[in-house]
Structure formats: structure tokens, C-alpha cells
């Protein structure tokens, strides 16, 4: 009996000590939101190459559009307008999300149609609405640039090819992390990092159930959910239905997947000028109120909306270094 009790005590003590012995960060609070990494260890030469390509308009067939035309380096990696102008025409009905922290999403795009960042780049180069290019033409064009070709040869054994172009862009994207938000600092144990309002807002975010969808490192981006779990947002929206409103359904053809989207990250929600995949709303408070109504079936009181807004603001971290560099004037 006495021996059993001793064993239990010993096991408990080991369990409690293990995290600190294994070198894990012991101070991180046990919450459903996790802090973003503080840095990324990427090869600086590759990052620089990817950063150049990200702004290179030769990536588009027309020579008019680069990744940063839509994911703006001077606007938090996202679009300032409701919709981006692509290689051919206006993007009908789908908002450009930020590229910052996109590596922490379990899938890419609103409907999650690709998994990795590399697949995302491959798809974008050939997407008619985005860069409308083809790889053969793109590689031919880039290889004519002797300086660029040499840069690639110095870093990649195979020189400039499809894989190295994709790899450079993805390596750059992996450095895009908005670390050190007030909320993350609080998660890491810095008691005074979070204002009282933000703390109350976080408590409401959990008690109302926002956290059941927006959670993890990216405060979203790790599951699918229907827009309008508790009511038909699309009937009430007062706008024609578009293909982009169908979400996951366009991939699966399952009735249950209509209007199902990847739950977006809220790390940059406080800086959005437009909200939701359809950019149908232009105020954060209204977006919170709509979430209460259509996702939780609740009418949130004004004072709670203000507190949740304060919490969302506390999620804004430092801008990655690339975003303070002057924008290259591309050819």
C-alpha cells in the first residue's frame, strides 16, 4: 500500500519534470492558442533570392503582375482593396489573404485545395487569374537573365529550374512569421504583456466558443468549418452566389461541403480592411458580430465585441524583416 503510494508520487513527479528535462519551453501557458516561433533558420542567400522572385513581374505572362502586386510588402502581405487585380481581370469574389504565417495553415487557399506552400506556388504561376504563365515560358525568360542565372547556380546544384524557383520562394515564405505579439508574450509568461481588456476579450473568445474553430498557432488555419453553421449567411448576404462561395464543395461535390472553408487565421484580422472570403464586410466589429450570429447563434453585446476586438489586436506581432526593406522596382 505504502509502496504503491510512493510509486504514484514518483510517477507524478517524473511527469511534471519531464517537459523541463526534455528542453521544451516550460513556461508556455497551457492554452488552446500556441505562440509562433521566434525565428526561422533558413539559408539567407535562398531567402534573398525568394524575396527577389516574390517581387519579380516576369513571373506573370503579361510582365505586369508579381506575387507582391497582390500580397503587398507595404501592406502586411495582403491586399489593400477588396479584391486583387490579376493577370487578366479583377478577382471576382475572393479576398487575398496575407502570406505572413501562411506556413502554419494546414492547407492553403480558402477552400484548402493545396496542402504545401510549394504546391501553392506551382498552382499560382499557371493560374489564369493570378500569374497566367506556364513554367516552360517562365524558365526560358528567367534564364535569359545572366545575373539571376548565376545567383541560382551559386546556391542550387541544378541551377535555375522549376524546383529551385519554387524552393527559393517557399524558403522566403518560411521566414514570414509575425512573432512577439503581446498575446504570444503573455503565453510565454510575460504577465504584463496583455492589457486587461485583451485578457477579458480572450476569456470571452473562449467562453463564447470562437476558440472551437480559431485555435492553435495561427488562431485558425487548422480545420475546415461551414460559413453559416447556425444560419444561412449567403441568403442574408444579399448578393449573387458565386463559385468561390461554394468553398470545399468545388473540390468534393459533396452537398455537406457547400460553403465550407478553411477557418482563417486571425493573427492579422485587426489589420484587414475587408473581412471574409468574399470581402463582404469592412469593419472588424461587424465581422465579430456576424461570427456570433452565424457561427454561434448568439447576439453578442456591443461591450463584448469591443473586448474581443482588443484581444484580436493583441495578436498582431512584429512584421517580418522583408516587410521593412524597400520594394525592388521590378522590370
Residues found near ligand HEC in the complex (CB under 6 A):
59, 65, 67, 69-71, 84, 86, 91, 94, 96-97, 99, 102, 105, 108-110, 117, 120-121, 124, 130-131, 169, 208-210, 212-214, 225, 227, 229, 261, 263-264, 266, 269, 272, 275-277, 287-288, 291-292, 295-296, 308
Least spacing, CB of residue 45 vs ligand HEC, in Å: 19
CA–CA distances in Å: residue 168 to residues 139, 165, 264, 331:
14, 5, 25, 19
CB atoms within 10 A of CB 2: 5
**Which CB sits closer to ligand HEC, 185 or 214?**
214
Helix (H) or strand (E) holding 313: helix 302-313
Residue 89 known to be catalytic: no
Least spacing, CB of residue 88 vs ligand HEC, in Å: 9
Are the C-beta atoms of 101 and 319 separated by less than 8 Å?
no
The pairs formed by 155-164 with CB atoms below 8 angstroms and a separation of 24 or more are: 155/43, 155/45, 155/46, 155/49, 162/122, 162/135
Does residue 182 sit in helix, strand or coil? helix
Q: Which of 81, 92, 126, 130 is catalytic?
A: 130
Least spacing, CB of residue 272 vs ligand HEC, in Å: 5
Are the C-beta atoms of 61 and 127 separated by less than 8 Å?
no
**Which CB sits closer to ligand HEC, 45 or 306?**
306
Least spacing, CB of residue 40 vs ligand HEC, in Å: 15
**Which CB sits closer to ligand HEC, 187 or 279?**
279
**Which CB sits closer to ligand HEC, 53 or 182?**
53
Q: Which residues are catalytic?
A: 130
Amino acid at each position: 500500500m505504502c509502496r504503491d503510494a510512493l510509486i504514484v508520487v514518483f510517477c507524478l513527479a517524473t511527469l511534471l519534470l519531464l517537459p523541463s528535462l526534455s528542453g521544451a519551453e516550460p513556461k508556455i501557458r497551457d492554452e488552446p492558442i500556441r505562440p509562433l516561433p521566434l525565428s526561422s533558420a533558413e539559408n539567407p542567400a535562398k531567402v534573398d533570392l525568394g524575396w527577389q522572385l516574390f517581387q519579380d513581374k516576369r513571373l506573370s505572362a503579361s510582365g505586369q503582375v508579381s506575387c507582391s502586386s497582390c500580397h503587398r510588402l507595404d501592406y502586411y502581405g495582403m491586399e489593400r482593396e477588396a479584391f486583387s487585380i490579376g493577370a487578366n481581370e479583377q478577382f471576382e469574389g475572393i479576398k487575398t489573404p496575407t502570406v505572413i504565417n501562411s506556413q502554419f495553415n494546414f492547407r492553403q487557399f480558402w477552400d484548402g485545395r493545396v496542402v504545401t506552400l510549394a504546391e501553392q506556388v506551382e498552382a499560382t504561376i499557371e493560374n489564369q487569374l493570378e500569374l497566367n504563365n506556364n513554367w516552360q515560358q517562365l524558365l526560358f525568360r528567367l534564364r535569359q537573365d545572366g545575373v539571376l542565372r548565376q545567383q541560382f547556380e551559386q546556391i542550387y546544384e541544378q541551377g535555375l529550374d522549376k524546383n529551385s524557383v519554387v524552393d527559393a520562394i517557399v524558403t522566403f515564405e518560411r521566414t514570414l512569421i509575425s512573432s512577439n505579439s503581446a498575446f504570444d508574450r503573455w503565453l510565454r509568461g510575460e504577465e504584463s504583456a496583455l492589457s486587461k481588456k485583451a485578457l477579458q476579450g480572450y476569456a470571452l473568445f473562449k467562453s463564447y466558443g470562437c476558440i472551437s474553430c480559431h485555435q492553435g498557432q495561427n488562431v485558425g488555419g487548422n480545420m475546415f468549418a461551414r460559413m453559416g453553421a447556425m444560419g444561412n449567411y449567403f441568403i442574408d448576404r444579399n448578393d449573387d452566389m458565386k463559385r468561390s462561395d461554394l468553398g470545399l464543395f468545388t473540390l468534393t461535390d459533396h452537398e455537406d461541403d457547400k460553403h465550407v472553408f478553411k477557418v482563417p487565421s486571425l493573427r492579422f484580422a485587426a489589420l484587414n480592411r475587408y473581412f471574409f472570403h468574399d470581402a463582404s464586410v469592412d469593419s472588424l466589429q461587424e465581422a465579430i458580430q456576424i461570427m456570433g450570429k452565424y457561427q454561434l447563434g448568439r447576439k453578442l453585446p456591443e461591450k463584448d465585441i469591443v473586448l474581443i476586438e482588443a484581444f484580436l489586436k493583441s495578436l498582431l506581432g512584429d512584421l517580418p524583416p522583408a516587410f521593412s526593406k524597400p520594394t525592388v522596382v521590378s522590370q
